[in-house]
């Protein structure tokens, strides 16, 4: 059986599934129920000077009838007294000594950091996560993403945390930056043991078209919130991978952003995450979603022959390349398996209106014809096709040796003739 135990930055966990710092990790009773359900670890709801929240706080983005495909919130850090939080951390650790609790922290001054770190460790926290990511409410007060967007501030506060902490320090990064790498590097210079990303994305989730007010609505007003949920996964995957492949970086990563099943988790792991954190899927469906995540990961590892989580981590990073290093002479065309085709002709509409006009309806059959001489191998038809095994992208041997754009520009490598560019 595959071994699901893992670690990120020295924080060991029986499995890679952690609750992200968020409402599902708000209290001891919740975190203990989560551990009962099988979660590996929990990043406690961010501790700091307790705040007061508004109602309402959450907004959902439904896509094609799927509620909560995207999600946002305008909730702030913990609103519960610090001593209650610390007491519950201690109680939870006593019952679950092997499941890591990571204290997410957000305060302002050096002295406040010293104080809250000491109390967190005293309560039994296995690690710290510095919340440099929250994009609403706290950043206006000079915390959260206001820190994460300034590498110098990030580095300074991270170094304070290292100075005061006896447990591993993770820095949680905000995606509300144009390039994630300098921010990861700042955390590294500050001495972080690892990073977690992404925090939520600055967003307006929706607008109430009857009241003319954005959502979530607080009386007659709204404000921007943090976007998360399944729909943000592609952005998160890119930022995780951008750091994982950065030669000078090398810190462990706890991946966050749209993980809703084992498959998402595997993707984060293949791009360099040694643990993943989950919030939205738990908020939508509860702690027991972890059963499928654990079981699916185990089945995947068994089917691929991976013994340990670490065998997967970063396995797709070598294949994450720059555009200029892609083989321009690699050629594919779409092929339709007529016996699997159901004649919906979604490919015809997609190719004609959205691609290169090379899929054509035919007179005496609903099965379309592909003009391979014009097909640029874009994948669009395969993406829209609802019939399993119908459209495949087939490699074409065009007789050209591999050649990248960079090789072409720098060394005069020969590129195949363009297709569909007339």
123 CB burial (10 A radius; 0-12, 13-18, 19+): buried
Nearer to another protein, 157 or 347 (CB): 347
Nearer to another protein, 120 or 382 (CB): 382
Q: Does 386 bind another protein (CB under 8 A)?
A: yes
Gap between the Cα atoms of 164 and 328, Å rounded? 52
At its nearest, how many Å lie between another protein and the CB of residue 366?
A: 7
Q: What is the 3-state secondary structure (H, E, C) of the chain?
A: CCECCEEECCEEECCCEEECCCHHHCCHHHHHHHHHHCCCEEEEEEECCCCCCCCCCEEEEEECCEEEEEEEECCCCCCCCHHHHHHHHHHHHHHCCCCCEEEEECCCCHHHHHHHHHHHHHHCCCEEEEECCCCCCCHHHCCCHHHHCCHHHHHHHHHHHHHHCCCCEEEECCCCCCCCHHHHHHHHHHCCCEEEECCCEEECCEEECCCCEEECCECCECCCEEEECHHHHHHHHHHHHHHHCCCCCCCCEEEECCCCCHHHHHHHHHCCEEEEEECHHHHHHCCCHHHHHHHHHHHHHHHHCCCEHHHCCCCCHHHCCCHHHCECCCEEEEEECCCCCCCCCHHHHHHHHHCCCCEECCCCCCCCEECCCCCCCCCHHHHHCCCCCCEEEEEECCCCCCCEHHHHHHHCCCCCCCCCCC
Nearer to another protein, 234 or 343 (CB): 343
110, 118, 302, 366: which one binds another protein (CB under 8 A) = 366
Nearer to another protein, 50 or 361 (CB): 361
Q: What angle do CA 368, 374, 379 make, to 5 degrees?
A: 70
Is 381 annotated in the active site? no
At its nearest, how many Å lie between another protein and the CB of residue 152?
A: 48
Q: Does 348 bind another protein (CB under 8 A)?
A: yes
Q: Does 417 bind another protein (CB under 8 A)?
A: no
Q: Does 399 bind another protein (CB under 8 A)?
A: no
CA 15 to each of CA 42, 67, 74, 133, 341: distance values in angstroms, whole numbers, following the listed order: 11, 28, 30, 25, 42
At its nearest, how many Å lie between another protein and the CB of residue 230?
A: 17
Gap between the Cα atoms of 26 and 365, Å rounded? 59
The footprint of another protein on residues 317-346 (CB under 8 A) is 342-346
Q: Does 349 bind another protein (CB under 8 A)?
A: yes
At its nearest, how many Å lie between another protein and the CB of residue 351?
A: 10
Say which residues have a Cβ less than 8 Å from residue 97's Cβ, sequence separation at least 6: none
Nearer to another protein, 209 or 221 (CB): 209
Nearer to another protein, 166 or 339 (CB): 339
Gap between the Cα atoms of 103 and 121, Å rounded? 9
At its nearest, how many Å lie between another protein and the CB of residue 400?
A: 34
Determine which one of 134, 228, 351, 385 is catalytic: 134
Count of chain residues binding another protein (CB under 8 A)? 13
Nearer to another protein, 313 or 350 (CB): 350
At its nearest, how many Å lie between another protein and the CB of residue 344?
A: 4
What is the pattern of x (binds another protein, CB under 8 A) and - over residues 39-68? -------------------------xx---
Nearer to another protein, 342 or 383 (CB): 342
Q: Does 305 bind another protein (CB under 8 A)?
A: no
51, 146, 284, 387: which one binds another protein (CB under 8 A) = 387
- Name the site residues for another protein (rule: CB under 8 A): 64-65, 342-346, 348-349, 361, 366, 386-387
Q: Which residues are catalytic?
A: 134
């Amino acid at each position: 059986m595959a071994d699901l135990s893992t670690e990120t930055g020295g924080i060991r966990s029986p499995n890679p599934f952690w609750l992200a710092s968020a409402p599902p990790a708000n209290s001891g009773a919740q975190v203990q129920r989560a551990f009962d359900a099988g979660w590996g670890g929990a990043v406690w709801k961010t501790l700091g000077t307790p705040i007061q929240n508004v109602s309402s706080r959450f907004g959902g983005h439904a896509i094609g009838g799927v509620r909560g495909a995207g999600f946002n919130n305008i909730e702030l850090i913990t609103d519960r007294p610090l001593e209650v939080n610390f007491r519950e951390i201690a109680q939870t650790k006593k019952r679950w000594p092997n499941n890591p609790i990571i204290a997410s922290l957000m305060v302002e001054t050096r002295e406040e950091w010293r104080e809250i770190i000491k109390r967190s460790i005293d309560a039994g926290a296995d690690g710290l996560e510095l919340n440099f990511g929250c994009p609403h409410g706290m950043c206006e007060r000079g915390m959260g993403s206001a820190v994460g967007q300034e590498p110098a501030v990030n580095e300074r506060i991270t170094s304070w945390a290292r100075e005061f902490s006896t447990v591993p320090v993770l820095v949680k990064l905000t995606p509300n930056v144009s390039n994630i790498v300098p921010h990861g590097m700042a955390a590294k210079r500050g001495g972080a043991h690892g990073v977690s990303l992404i925090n939520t994305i600055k967003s307006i989730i929706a607008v109430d078209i009857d009241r003319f007010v954005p959502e979530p609505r607080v009386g007659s007003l709204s404000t921007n919130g943090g976007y998360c949920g399944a729909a943000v996964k592609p952005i998160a995957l890119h930022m995780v991978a951008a750091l994982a492949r950065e030669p000078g970086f090398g810190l462990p990563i706890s991946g966050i952003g749209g993980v809703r099943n084992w498959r998402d988790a595997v993707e984060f792991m293949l791009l360099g995450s040694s643990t993943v954190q989950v919030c939205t899927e738990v908020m939508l469906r509860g702690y027991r979603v972890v059963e499928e995540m654990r079981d699916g990961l185990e089945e995947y590892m068994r089917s691929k022959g991976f013994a340990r989580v670490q065998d997967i981590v970063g396995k797709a990073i070598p294949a994450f390349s720059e555009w200029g290093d892609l083989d321009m002479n690699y050629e594919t065309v779409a092929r339709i398996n007529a016996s699997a085709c159901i004649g919906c002709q979604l490919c015809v509409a997609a190719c004609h209106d959205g691609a290169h006009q090379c899929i054509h309806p035919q007179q005496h059959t609903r099965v379309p014809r592909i003009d391979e001489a014009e097909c640029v191998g874009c994948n669009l038809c395969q993406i829209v096709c609802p019939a399993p095994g119908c459209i495949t992208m087939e490699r074409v041997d065009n007789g050209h040796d591999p050649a990248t754009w960079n090789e072409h520009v720098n060394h005069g490598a020969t590129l195949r003739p363009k297709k569909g560019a007339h």
